[in-house]
Structure 1
């Protein structure tokens, strides 16, 4: 009988293992089917060009100089060196063919789904609940932005190391040891170097200690089956255990804040008062839940409302969020997954919810990549738990689950089509949002690259009408006007942009170009000098400054700038030719 029992258990384990493998393969196939079209999409003028296509550091691939740059300060964004390295590797592998870049982002997303399935299944022992959670995570329309936008590689890559860190922590929780703890620290460090938003991970590990790991000793027995270790610990010990992790994320937070302040991406209290922010935070938490349930009218950018949310709407959101929190807390002993899932959602969203506003977006679909996992877990486990109490037809739940997955898969496949190129993406944003100055600005950028100057001017003009202090739109409008020879108007918009961002070398240089085209070489030199004072490595500006000095008969200064342009860019044929002509003229004069 004992042999028979052991044999049955082995067969059961083999069957469960085979089933888990089949489920994992099904998740891969489902995700590939939904997202397959993304590999045929273009780079977007929305950051892809600045980050990759026109970034010489990234385009030239994995070189020693580029590695140093990736780990140092830069004017493009906050630090995420591991994400930079992944883009460089893509350029080494595929050049500037967007197909490979898109496909690698998709592969990382699929890897995340598989790792999450394995992690959740290992921690809870619940195969089908875990499978449904990860299916929703993988193919939900709110994942599109993180997968289809190449610039957001940092999102899927950061999530990868987030999951790996939790896997390492689960391994550590089985048998605590210095080596295993150091592995957790290493994985978290790699994650923070991919995307600093992982700062909430130590908090999440505390939640997992409560459920499903069952490491917290609160004097109660968990009612659900969990893969809990033999030992339990006080909450104080578990917090103390994570002090090195908290120190690491605190250091990362400080560096990220200073970087954001340096590049000017943090909104001031004058621009967004505290009262406005608090109201918006409450409304955003609620809207992210609604978007999870009914993900329609999605856009790449959501502008802030013109005025603060009505008090009744803020109060309603606060009341609903408060009720959910109370219900989750009251059920924390009998149904711990509710409080864990709810605090997971609230906590992971906290750094990007808008209390400290970084960036111009009111909300962003990409912000939900990891936070919504908590809601999926709470919902799936809760529905399964309550349905068993209410004695619902067991055959009905799988059918409903399949219908929900099919609905989201079809919706994601359809909405993914808007990310095909800039024109479709930005036009869609104008359809589903109002006063979207960023959509107008990006459409202007897209059109100016195609040589469609007149419609570009219209979109830039709309952008500055909706947001008069949007300096990139003023800059773009100035460039478009200058290309039509309307230099006075162009200079006017450049000056408006400089009032907002006085240290922008590109705007200063373009202002110099406009004055040069008007024949005002003295003013041109003044603006070229300001641009070079901010960024002396701009060889094109040295080239233009040299020509301006030459026009004024200041040959010595012209030669110095042409020589510097050649030093910075030895392949600059224009500077080399001009320098040759000037020197020949000097030789002719001397003879």
Structure 2
């Protein structure tokens, strides 16, 4: 049997002087054939695994840049950097992330294919750069580590979800910073050091969880040399300074925009963190049953499982340290990197997603390199101890892992095709994910699938647990979505109850309030709508004016007057309120006050028809027929398609005895509409005096039929019939 070569001592963190095994000396563009083939293989594996990502759409938080349109304008690039509040849905200051999305928009608008392609390319670049890092650190199985990283299913979430680019981009810049750092350690060139510091700064401006990189650099120093020297601390000091400054600035900005605070105790947070760490390890080793939102677990100190996870976490660290002389520094360094990189997102501090789940696959995107490197290196080390005839078996196993991981990644990436597919997957993986039911019902509402939307919303309401302290997502949105679906299905009473339930749970829920107001107004309940808005401090001039109209129709003129005056307090030039209030005051005989309001309305809207018409009618009541005719003419000039002004002018002609002129005007009015009682009432008078008595009677009866409460045509008809000595059939009632 041929003598086996001595394996590299990578698990001990020692740099071997042995040359790496190559496939030959042939080169292309200065690259060995082994490197070229390895790169090609990783490219093939990556794109084969992520074909579904290229067919995916925008889902969930992608609305931050698609609906809020934070990247749509050319000028948005300035606001992204210097007016971060412009990105309305984002609580952090991550300008480099949104700058890349802005560039995407300028290249392909809101076509999701381009955005997803960039994400896949970033992931590919990260995989290749990690190969470089592992090679420089002489970690055994460097290519296999990169290949596993490229196809690992836990990475499907940040790669396939467009807004997950923050994890990809932050990792890309962090890995590039490490490569520059390693080059600096090799050459001592100041340029490489500054490149590393600049790249790290950029990583923080992509996602602030990159803040742990300076600690990772110290872990790297310990891994390579077995100690951390004063020089190491001095060299990393600027990195720590930048990390603290930018992370603190982002934290303060985040706190100014997001009011997130849970009431977990220190013990509970330790339980959350320890189990989260093991959950991440479990998904890295066995990526089955992946979910976007994992269920919360019991963190009560009375739960013994929490203590077991915490003890296991501490015990593992102690064991890795105690056996360092046997297994080398590699496992402890990998575990330390994994733990340190995850520290910002294991629940020790509050962050937004904590209310949804205690861990998420995307958070271990870069951290997983530590676990993958340790496991693969150990596997390669074990393979080297096998007889040569079993080496092929090891290759088959490694290839099978890559194929299975790639297939699982394909499957997981397929869940991001659209909102319906995505949120259906989320609730199937975690039936208690309340926010997913909310978003699923929205997806159905957008497709006008109201029955499905109602079912999704009610399912979420059935599963809502009010005792879950971590669940900061109240069910008001579910009530609101159920209300929309019910209203669209014509079940208005149930819809109203759902909207009211939403406001009971969350009194400031803007959409539920808006939808309830719309529902009430659609059913003519303007006064109720106005009260709701007033109580919430959201009353508008339009709503109050509509309430006034409803109160007028109900005969409550005092309440109507109050509503109109409240509307004018909000908007002094509100045309409908000026006109309607003038009408109320005119009805009360307050002609001067009414006239002042009509004139104010004509100033507010010179093209408004109702104000000069109302003013003309007021002047008739004051017997100023000349002014009345002037205002009727003005109203008719503004809108010749309205019959009311012609009816008024015709009535004035009757008053002056010009019945022929009146008849001509009234005929023109009837050409516009045959449903105006005033026109028939006035024409009946003109026809009577012109000797067409039967026609006059017919017009007056028509006027009464159109408007039974009009008294003038009744009086005129009674007078005509009495003059003819005929009984009236219309005087009763």
Please classify the TM superposition score into its range, dividing by the shorter chain length.
Answer: 0.7 to 0.9
SS at match of 1:59: coil
Q: Counterpart in 1 of 2:364? A: 368
Closer, same or farther: CA 549–581 of 1 in aligned 2, 3 Å: farther
Offset at residue 174 of structure 1 (A): 1.9
Closer, same or farther: CA 525–302 of 1 in aligned 2, 3 Å: same
Q: Does 1:429 align with 2:426?
A: yes
Q: Counterpart in 2 of 1:281? A: 273
Decide which moves more: 483-492 or 235-244. Answer: 483-492
Unmatched segments (≥5 aa) in structure 1: 1-7, 219-233, 532-544, 563-578
- Render the CA deviation track for 1:147-184: whole Å, top value 9, x for unaligned: 11112121111111111111121122223354433222
Check conservation: 2:271, 2:309, Cα contact below 8 A: no
Decide which moves more: 154-163 or 91-100. Answer: 91-100
Closer, same or farther: CA 54–74 of 1 in aligned 2, 3 Å: closer
Task: Please give the residue correspondences for 1:152-301 in structure 2 after superposition, counting only pairs within 5 Å.
Answer: 152-212=164-224, 214=225, 218=227, 234-264=228-258, 266-269=260-263, 272-301=264-293
Check conservation: 1:42, 1:421, Cα contact below 8 A: yes
Quote the Cα distance in structure 1 between the aligned partners of 2:34 and 2:86. 48
Quote the Cα distance in structure 2 between the aligned partners of 1:344 and 1:145. 21
Quote the Cα distance in structure 1 between the aligned partners of 2:505 and 2:100. 33
- Render the CA deviation track for 1:477-518: whole Å, top value 9, x for unaligned: 45445555446324423423535xx4x665665565456554
Decide which moves more: 287-296 or 302-311. Answer: 302-311
Q: Counterpart in 1 of 2:345? A: 352
Q: Which has the higher contact order (CA 8 A, sep 6+)?
A: 1
Closer, same or farther: CA 321–550 of 1 in aligned 2, 3 Å: same
Check conservation: 1:169, 1:181, Cα contact below 8 A: yes
Quote the Cα distance in structure 2 between the aligned partners of 1:435 and 1:11. 56
Decide which moves more: 12-21 or 356-365. Answer: 12-21
Closer, same or farther: CA 341–463 of 1 in aligned 2, 3 Å: same
| TM-score, structure 1 as length reference | 0.80
- Render the CA deviation track for 1:229-271: whole Å, top value 9, x for unaligned: xxxxx533312321221122222332333344334463321xx
Q: Counterpart in 2 of 1:473? A: 478
Quote the Cα distance in structure 2 between the aligned partners of 1:121 and 1:352. 29
Q: Counterpart in 2 of 1:40? A: 55
Quote the Cα distance in structure 1 between the aligned partners of 2:259 and 2:114. 30
CA RMSD between the two structures: 3.3
Q: Counterpart in 1 of 2:296? A: 304
- Render the CA deviation track for 1:203-253: whole Å, top value 9, x for unaligned: 1111111234x4x6x4xxxxxxxxxxxxxxx53331232122112222233
Q: Counterpart in 2 of 1:117? A: 131
Quote the Cα distance in structure 1 between the aligned partners of 2:377 and 2:499. 61
Q: Counterpart in 1 of 2:65? A: 52
- Render the CA deviation track for 1:187-212: whole Å, top value 9, x for unaligned: 11111111111011111111111234
Closer, same or farther: CA 157–505 of 1 in aligned 2, 3 Å: farther
Choose from 100, 104, 124 the match for 1:86.
100
SS at match of 2:141: helix
Q: Counterpart in 2 of 1:462? A: 459
Quote the Cα distance in structure 1 between the aligned partners of 2:572 and 2:120. 51
Quote the Cα distance in structure 2 between the aligned partners of 1:118 and 1:496. 57
Quote the Cα distance in structure 1 between the aligned partners of 2:568 and 2:300. 58
Check conservation: 1:511, 1:527, Cα contact below 8 A: no
Closer, same or farther: CA 172–583 of 1 in aligned 2, 3 Å: farther
Decide which moves more: 170-179 or 341-350. Answer: 170-179
Offset at residue 558 of structure 1 (A): 4.6
Quote the Cα distance in structure 2 between the aligned partners of 1:69 and 1:526. 37
Quote the Cα distance in structure 1 between the aligned partners of 2:133 and 2:214. 17
Q: Counterpart in 1 of 2:18? A: none
Q: Does 1:76 align with 2:89?
A: yes
Decide which moves more: 197-206 or 438-447. Answer: 438-447
Q: Does 1:342 align with 2:356?
A: no
Quote the Cα distance in structure 2 between the aligned partners of 1:281 and 1:105. 29
Quote the Cα distance in structure 1 between the aligned partners of 2:302 and 2:367. 26
- Render the CA deviation track for 1:256-312: whole Å, top value 9, x for unaligned: 33344334463321xx34333322222221122121222121111113136748733
Offset at residue 429 of structure 1 (A): 2.7
Task: Please give the residue correspondences for 1:349-428 in structure 2 after superposition, counting only pairs within 5 Å.
Answer: 349-358=342-351, 359=353, 360=355, 361-389=357-385, 393-428=390-425
Q: Counterpart in 2 of 1:322? A: 314
- Render the CA deviation track for 1:348-390: whole Å, top value 9, x for unaligned: 1111011113122222111111111001111122233344456
Closer, same or farther: CA 52–349 of 1 in aligned 2, 3 Å: same
Quote the Cα distance in structure 2 between the aligned partners of 1:152 and 1:9. 37
SS at match of 1:58: coil
- Render the CA deviation track for 1:45-100: whole Å, top value 9, x for unaligned: x122x212211222335645543466447541222111112222222222222222
Quote the Cα distance in structure 1 between the aligned partners of 2:283 and 2:378. 20
SS at match of 1:363: coil
Offset at residue 417 of structure 1 (A): 1.9
Unmatched segments (≥5 aa) in structure 2: 1-20, 467-473, 549-563, 576-603, 616-630, 632-733
Quote the Cα distance in structure 2 between the aligned partners of 1:490 and 1:92. 42
Q: Counterpart in 1 of 2:655? A: none
Closer, same or farther: CA 436–561 of 1 in aligned 2, 3 Å: farther
Closer, same or farther: CA 332–580 of 1 in aligned 2, 3 Å: farther
Quote the Cα distance in structure 1 between the aligned partners of 2:322 and 2:86. 47
Q: Does 1:139 align with 2:151?
A: yes
Quote the Cα distance in structure 1 between the aligned partners of 2:112 and 2:574. 37
SS at match of 2:50: helix
SS at match of 1:395: helix
